[in-house]
Amino acid sequence: METLDQAAAIRQGEELDLPRVEDYLRDALPALEGPVTLRQFPRGHSNLTYLVTVGARELVLRRPPFGTKARGAHDMAREYRILAALREVFPYVPRPLALCQDAAVLGAPFYVMERIQGLIPRRELPAAIARDTAAVRRLFEGFVDVLVELHGLDYRGLGLADLGKPEGYARRQVEGWSARYRRARTPDAPEGADVMQWLESHVPPDTDRPAIIHNDFKFDNLVLDPGDPCRIIGVLDWEMSTIGDPALDLGCTLGYWVEGDDPPDLQMVRTLPTHVPGAMTRRQMVERYAALTGRVIEPFDYYYIFGLFRLAVIAQQIYYRYYQGQTRDERFKLLIGAVQVLERTARRVIATGGA
């Protein structure tokens, strides 16, 4: 596997106007020197991410996807503000450098940040630790610890109290994701009514300890130290972060969690290295999180089912763009299979309580 996240040629239809990028950077960051080149990070399914090289310096540019976008999504100014607020107290955040809200420059708002150079664990772990179960366990414990650190930040002291409304957060999440699923549902997608109805009828009460939540905290949004792959040095993709119930944040994380003995259909849609010997189970993740925070994460099944459903909706929204011809990215064609498996898994957990 590749040890460092590699940029590649820019996908057709997602090109940026290089002279305009260069003009903007020369004006916004006048200390930069050298020729400007552009490449694209090919992973990810939401905001588009480009590697901008200026001389010997590497920057990252993020902009919304081309085509129709969900209302309220892909807010570059909001994401930039979060990075700027967190940077000094949460060292895993990339340093934001410049925000452009003038859509005339590149067709949409965008921002530029520093690149955190390191390993990004995707479907498989870096070979340096994959065969060492003790190292794997340290990495997974560190994963929980960083999430705990995030949830312990004083969001009011950081000036982020208006980032979200914790009152009624869980119910709004269920209602909002259900509405998104109905809007994005295609004829080949499952109906999903049983899962949506169950989630709505079992909404937990509001937490008395709301927190900054990432809302997509998973391995391929982390950066590992190349010299010590058990150490997390970066957390990426803050576009969905808000103020809300941290138990739901943990549930969203565990929606991606495929254990080594999970059913074959769930194994087929595994995208992250959560199955390897030494990896923590979903239950162990919850227990460590609860021990470190003093929070009660029960009923655990509710948060896990929500995480599965939410991930199914995200996959369906992306698949919808492909189905409607709004993107040519062939990766998206396969997402309908993931939607079907995730919805089926949610129904199974509802029926058996077997998270």
- Give the count of beta carbons closer than 10 Å to the beta carbon of residue 23: 13
Structure tokens at 288: 């460590």
- pTM for the full model? 0.91
Radius of gyration of the chain (CA): 20
> Given a cut of 70, is residue 279 above it in pLDDT?
yes
Q: Give the pLDDT band of residue 1 (cuts 50, 70, 90).
A: very low
First to last CA, the chain: 31
| Structural tokens at position 262 | 């999970």
Task: List pLDDT tens digits, range 150-162.
Answer: 999 999 999 999 9
Tell me the one-letter amino acid at 61: L
Would you say residue 110 has pLDDT above 80? yes
DSSP string, 57-96: EEEEEEEPPSS---TT---HHHHHHHHHHHTTT-TTSPPE
What pLDDT does 290 receive? 96
Q: Which of 75, 77, 206, 210 is nearest to 155 (CA)?
A: 210
Contact 223, 236 (CB under 8 A): yes
User: What pLDDT is recorded for position 2?
Assistant: 47
CATH C-level class of 127-352: alpha beta
Say if residue 36's pLDDT is above 80: yes
For the ranges 40-44, 188-192, 294-298, the one whose mean pLDDT is highest = 188-192
Q: Comparing C-alpha atoms, which of 291, 209, 212, 218 is closest to residue 251?
A: 218
Asked whether residue 319 carries a pLDDT value surpassing 50, the answer given is yes
Residue 11: predicted pLDDT: 86
Per-residue pLDDT, 37:
95
Are 18-114 and 127-352 equal in CATH topology?
no
Instruction: Report which of 296, 343, 336, 303 is spatially closest to residue 318, judged by C-alpha positions.
Output: 336
* Amino acid symbol at 320: Y
Mean pLDDT along residues 79-103: 96
Please tell me the predicted confidence (pLDDT) of residue 4: 63
pLDDT of res. 296: 85
Length of the chain: 355
pLDDT of residue 278 exceeding 70, the answer is yes
- Specify the pLDDT at position 49: 94
Sign, Cα dihedral of 185, 187, 189, 193:
positive
d(CA 131, CA 279): 11
pLDDT digits (tens, 9 = 90+) for 215-273: 999 999 999 999 999 999 999 999 999 999 999 999 999 999 999 999 999 999 999 99
What pLDDT does residue 310 have? 97
Which helix H or strand E contains 223, and what residues bound it?
strand 222-225
Name, in order, each residue with C-beta under 8 angstroms of 108's C-beta and a sequence gap of 6 or more: 63, 64, 74, 76
The pLDDT of residue 327 is: 79
Give the model's pLDDT for residue 169: 97
Per the rule left: phi > 0, alpha: psi between -120 and 50, beta: everything else, 353 is left
Report percent pLDDT > 70 for the chain.
95
Please report, for the chain, the start and end positions of each structural domain, with discontinuous segments joined by +: 18-114, 127-352
User: Any residues with CB less than 8 A from the CB of 207 and at least 6 apart, and which?
Assistant: 166, 169, 245, 246, 247
- What pLDDT sits at residue 355? 58
**Predicted pLDDT at 330:** 80
- In this predicted structure, the answer to whether residue 334 has a pLDDT above a threshold of 50 is yes
- pLDDT score, position 174: 98
DSSP category for residue 187: T
Number of H helices, E strands in the chain: 12, 9
Residues 18-114, CATH architecture:
2-Layer Sandwich (3.30)
- Residues facing residue 96 across a β-bridge: 113
Q: Which structure tokens are listed for 33?
A: 């020197």
Phi/psi for 58 (5° steps) reads: -110, 130
Amino acid in the structure at residue 155: Y
CA geometry: angle 206, 241, 353, nearest 5 deg:
50
- Residue % of the chain over a pLDDT of 90: 82
How would residue 44 be classed by pLDDT, with cut points 50, 70 and 90? Answer: low
